[in-house]
Amino acid sequence: MNQPTRGANRLYTSEPCYESIKVVASTVKGDHKAVIVFTETRKPTLCKKKQQRVFRKRTPSQHALLLQHVAELDIQFDDQQNVQDSFDQLYSIMLNLLDRYYPERSITVTSSDPEFVSPDIKALLRQKNRLMRI
């Protein structure tokens, strides 16, 4: 390894047992860097692919407001209307409620994010990191 991990400090080992060492910027705020070591040959760094994903944040207060509104909601259908028009009307009402109480948000996910990190989880992680810096 020919790159410092903090200031001029380096990583020293008692025996050369690592095939590959990589120093990357840390995910937390600070002057330390992360060290990734491999016992097998070096894994290539692939280009990260970014993708905008849309999600709906859900909180208990949003649920309560929606339920309160739905309890007072009175949906009337015209008996002379055909089934498709009635369905379209109901779908429009439901979609408006969804947009009103659970607005769509977008977040960028990358190909280097683990598979289990959904847009919801990534938003929560960003919120946690923002609160940790305060």
Q: What is the pLDDT of residues 106-130, one digit of tens each?
A: 999 988 888 888 999 999 999 999 9
Cα–Cα nearest to 57, from 114, 127, 110: 127
Hey, what amino acid is at 131? Answer: L
Residue pLDDT, tens place only, 31-46: 777 777 777 665 565 6
pTM of the prediction? 0.57
pLDDT number for residue 60: 95
Hey, what are 26's tokens?
């840390």
Alpha helices (H) in 12-82, listed in sequence order? 60-72
Cα–Cα distance, 73 to 103 (Å, whole number):
20
With CA atoms as reference, report the closest residue to 56 among 101, 119, 104: 104
Distances (CA, A) of 15 to 18, 19, 41, 69: 9, 11, 17, 67
